[in-house]
Structure 1
Amino acid sequence: MANGRNGNGDLNFEADLFKAADKLRGNLEPSEYKHVALGLIFLKYISEAFEAQRKKLEQEEFADLEDPEEYLKDRVFWVPDIARWSYLKDNARARDLKIIDPVTNKEKKVDIGGLIDAAMEAIEKANSTTLKGVLPKDYGRPALDKEMIGDLVELFSDVTMHVEGEKARDLLGRAYEYFLSGFAGAEGRRGGEFFTPRSVVRVMVEMLEPYKGRVYDPCCGSGGMFVQSEKFIEDHSDQQHVEEAKRQISIYGQERNHTTWKLCKMNLAVRGIDADIKWNNEGSFTRDEFSNTYFDFILANPPFNVSDWWRESLAEDIRWTEFGTPPQGNANYAWLSHIYHHLAPRGTAGVVLANGSMSSQQSGEGEIRRKMIEEDAVDCMVALPGQLFYSTQIPACLWFLAKSKSANGHRDRRGQFLFIDARKLGVMVDRTRREFTPEDIEKIAGTYHSWRNKDGGYEDVPGFCKSASKEEVSKHGYVLTPGRYVGAEDAEDDGVPFEERISSLRHTLKAQFEQARILESQITTNLLRLAE
């Protein structure tokens, strides 16, 4: 980035920063390098937050600057001397630095990699309730280029040039999220396992509007659903009361991949988001960490079409009592049942699934879908365009579920379903991937709200959206593919009378047939000449 990576007035500083950092990784694989870069951004963030709090305390007459509680009470991590960014920056080229090991309390010599490991250990030790076992601590391994680490420390040191306080922390949060996105793109299919594209999440969040209550993701990846939920509150709240508004939601998540769980914990910490994120290697089906908890909003992008999810212990599970036991060879309807089970009495959910979930009849899926429709569990279906995701080219859709569709602050939509065909929306941001624009997001979410809310002024739009009755869905065999309901887009009226248009088409067709006969004659003549 020219003239400093400060983000001050530069909306693309994250992209420039990522490009600069990516140049430093050399032959290191993106899947490995992401933990190096993201760990350093995390260190930079908590150090910025610590220093900002320290400046505030300096203005207070009786504050003890060296008391960790003075920081923790305001949700700021305590950062020991050895982990403060200014110290790391001063020693970015260290080779034989003497430090006191935070684990053994003995003196040892380290390079910059070993110093960062010691910093991570010290931070975890000082904030064990929140960060124990979360931070990466393998910067000192011999295979990692210490010149590259030093370059990264100096690169990230420039992020907040001319920017201070909360603004600096927000820039680092933006950088962390952008880096997650960049690494997901670089890793392709594997990257999609920890990151859902932001524009897709924004559609879901804008539709569900999680202003107040419990928010849950049973396969939370790196926490993008939670980041965008809080971003929604920031965008739709009085700026003087944003922090108060944020406290109106509680966040819960579960993730079975331990490395991804670490990314999530750091991502939320960088954003200053309090959350209860559980990890176990069995997953939400076999070991549901929130089995007795119900949520107002659920957002999820579970892995598509998982075939090895079933365990015999799940045979009589309470989550299948509503719609029936899901097929053992595909987890799609297991996710829907799990999510619906965890909805509070007026809870709503948004779920990303493969398109096949809307129409499959295999292994009883059609019967489960029929029961969901008959019991009014489905609220809205959105068909998505291709190339939105890093992890798969399988066409995807959004399911929106509702525990109750009766009129309670909303229009009574019992027995009705909204279908939105968004396959023509979005723009290509590179050769392989598409994104929704802000206008696309507003169009989709606005359509849903006008349908769902009282006096919303909803109207069907041929080719885009349709409000269908339970009887109509039944006639379509309980298939939920939006294209079956929205119909074709109205042709634009060019003012030409129908008879005149048909006559013109007839003349055009006649001329094309004549041209085809001439070409056929010429080809036949040429073939005969070749045969002589």
Structure 2
Amino acid sequence: MKDIEQQFLNELDAQLWKAADKLRSHLDAANYKHVVLGLIFLKYVSDAFEERQQELIELFQKDDDDNIYHMPRDDYDSDEDYKQAIEAELEINDYYTEKNVFWVPKIARWNTLKEKIILPTNSVIGENEQGEDVKMRSASWLIDNAFDEIEKANPKLKGILNRISQYQLDTDKLIGLVNEFSTTKFHDPEYKGEKLNLKSKDILGHVYEYFLGEFALAEGKQGGQYYTPKSIVTLIVEMLEPYKGRVYDPAMGSGGFFVSSDKFIEEHAKIKHYDAAEQKKQISVYGQESNPTTWKLAAMNMAIRGIDFNFGKKNADSFLDDQHPDLRADFVMANPPFNMKDWWHEKLADDVRWTINTNGEKRILTPPAGNANFAWMLHMLYHLAPTGSMALLLANGSMSSNTNNEGEIRRTLVEQDLVECMVALPGQLFTNTQIPACIWFLTKDKSARNGKRDRRGEVLFIDARNLGYMKDRVLRDFKEEDTRQITNTFHKWQREWSEENNQAGFCFSANFATIQKHDFVLTPGRYVGAEAEEDDGVPFAEKMAALTSQLKAQFEESDKLEAQIKQNLAGLGFNV
């Protein structure tokens, strides 16, 4: 993205967030996010619909032998007849759905809503009703009615749009928000006199993602349950490289991994000069989420991005009500709640997902009932295709804990050569927890294929705890170069590696025997060792003598200061 486009988006983020944040004094973040994100979605589907309309108008009028949409002017008696014919043709649903654009009924289009909301009419609210309550009801009712009509016209969206009447938002605040989105230019934007190469759906998708992050920060611990830091999502996606195939997230939150995969495909298409739209058709997205409001956020997120998705028939618990029982995905990515305790049910005993084939025999490795960490891992492995790869964010304890059955599960995963890479992350990356985290990368096939070398019997350990920077007093983040360093190391290890590539304090490729010596503890710090200090050329004996002399002088200075303090206190009458 060009710098000027990024500047435009940054200013737009700040402008719209400032407008939305005015609601904070009237609603808590958990509620006002639904109002704001709902309006963003409404603006998106309307803008996308209007963009397609403009394309169709040009196609209808374009005289070209290869243009199947052309409507010849000579077929109509007058210009008015021709205009009416085009207007009628523009209302045919198929022209929009064929381009993955949602059909928006007239009553739900943004311009219609804007006029009715800002200037409520008696035809909407009733001739005998007056006052502030009526205005509020008309505005919120119109928006909710628009959601109703859009869901009726687009079965894919049924049940995912949150109605806003329930939040009883102040009239002026709601109208002000509608005005803010109405006056902001999303279509063919210009910035500092330069026309930008950004489409409205790209801008609104960016705004939606930005708002999700800001709401997560505003909500604190609760908000983090639906939002994984963008830098971590990007890191995992760039390491796994999901160009094509089935992508699955059993704890999807708001769908961040899918959005990042979509962006990754676009960037990859640019580099390889592929058609991004055609490349995206080779990706199928599957997800699951237990929280009903978060499930809706994810579906809206996909709709705004134009990503086709299958999130099951409903929000549901991945362990107790698996919405994709027969799925075998090429890529599985997840950031489930860390150390989740309340997950077990007796009907999960001897579940097929806990079964691992060891030396031709099936072995049941039931995860501990008091911690879901390895339950997520085994669930994901079960849904992984024979040549698939997966990444799972877990608490650091998963790398070393021997509680209940965890040590045995971890040992079996290593013995079955399923573990590919372990990444230890810095602290303070998450809005909802201070628990140190790591990323497990697993695969069912480490043999040489698709440009990768034979990695069987090896595991790469990366200690990234010293990377990143403090973006504020509370949160740490990765820079692009941090992500690139980790990603390049992993890909190099997959394709070509020698002992010289091991880097003290950062990365180490260990074989089975080495891991066995460490009792199958997978903490990267145990393997990468300490970073070698730069040799300053001073002999050790000389350096030790200088340090000893310095320490002696500091002790003497400390004694002098202590004596002076006692003397001063005695002069003030204190008995010391």
TM normalised by structure 2 equals 0.85
**Among candidates 318, 326, 330, match of residue 296 of structure 1:** 330
Matches within 5 A, 1:259-270: 259-270=293-304
**Other-structure match for 1:353:** 394
Q: Once the 2 structures are TM-superposed, how far is the Cα of residue 149 of structure 1 from its aligned partner? A: 1.1
Matches within 5 A, 1:383-394: 383-394=424-435
Question: Does 2:123 correspond to 1:124?
Answer: no
AA partner of residue 384 (structure 1): L
Matches within 5 A, 1:78-93: 78-93=103-118
Stretch of structure 1 that moved more, 17-26 or 196-205: 17-26
Q: Once the 2 structures are TM-superposed, how far is the Cα of residue 72 of structure 1 from its aligned partner? A: 0.8
Secondary structure, aligned partner of 1:54: helix
Q: Once the 2 structures are TM-superposed, how far is the Cα of residue 311 of structure 1 from its aligned partner? A: 1.1
**Other-structure match for 1:105:** none
**Among candidates 317, 320, 324, match of residue 354 of structure 2:** 320
**Deviations for 1:123-180, whole angstroms, at most 9, x for unmatched residues?**
001112x0111111233x4721121111111111233256269612100000001011
**Among candidates 80, 85, 90, match of residue 65 of structure 1:** 90
Structure 2 CA distance for partners of 1:457 and 1:442, relative to 1, 3 Å:
farther
Matches within 5 A, 1:20-99: 20-58=19-57, 59-60=59-60, 61-62=70-71, 64-99=89-124
**Other-structure match for 2:506:** 464
Secondary structure, aligned partner of 2:118: coil
**Among candidates 274, 279, 286, match of residue 320 of structure 2:** 286
Q: Once the 2 structures are TM-superposed, how far is the Cα of residue 90 of structure 1 from its aligned partner? A: 1.8
Identity rate of aligned residues, in percent? 52
AA partner of residue 143 (structure 2): I
Stretch of structure 1 that moved more, 458-467 or 267-276: 458-467
Question: Does 2:267 correspond to 1:235?
Answer: yes
**Other-structure match for 1:134:** 160
Question: Does 2:412 correspond to 1:371?
Answer: yes
Secondary structure, aligned partner of 2:246: strand
Structure 2: 5+ residue stretches without partners: 61-69, 72-85, 127-133, 190-196, 357-363
CA distance in 2, matches of 1:10, 1:142: 29
Q: Once the 2 structures are TM-superposed, how far is the Cα of residue 482 of structure 1 from its aligned partner? A: 1.0
**Other-structure match for 1:441:** 483
**Other-structure match for 1:505:** 547
Q: Once the 2 structures are TM-superposed, how far is the Cα of residue 96 of structure 1 from its aligned partner? A: 4.0
CA RMSD of aligned residues (A): 2.4
Is the contact made by 1:211 and 1:249 (CA closer than 8 Å) also made in structure 2? yes
Q: Once the 2 structures are TM-superposed, how far is the Cα of residue 23 of structure 1 from its aligned partner? A: 2.3
Structure with the greater alpha carbon radius of gyration: 2
**Other-structure match for 2:517:** 475
AA partner of residue 316 (structure 1): D
Matches within 5 A, 1:80-229: 80-99=105-124, 111-128=138-155, 130-139=156-165, 141=166, 143-160=168-185, 163=188, 167-229=199-261
Question: Does 2:373 correspond to 1:332?
Answer: yes
AA partner of residue 33 (structure 2): K
Q: Once the 2 structures are TM-superposed, how far is the Cα of residue 493 of structure 1 from its aligned partner? A: 2.6
CA distance in 2, matches of 1:142, 1:42: 18
AA partner of residue 190 (structure 1): Q
Secondary structure, aligned partner of 1:264: helix
Question: Does 2:473 correspond to 1:431?
Answer: yes
CA distance in 2, matches of 1:324, 1:477: 18
CA distance in 2, matches of 1:54, 1:457: 60
CA distance in 2, matches of 1:436, 1:360: 27
TM normalised by structure 1 equals 0.92
Stretch of structure 1 that moved more, 201-210 or 459-468: 459-468
CA distance in 2, matches of 1:285, 1:353: 17
Size of the aligned set, in residue pairs, is: 519
Structure 2 CA distance for partners of 1:137 and 1:161, relative to 1, 3 Å:
closer
Stretch of structure 1 that moved more, 64-73 or 236-245: 236-245
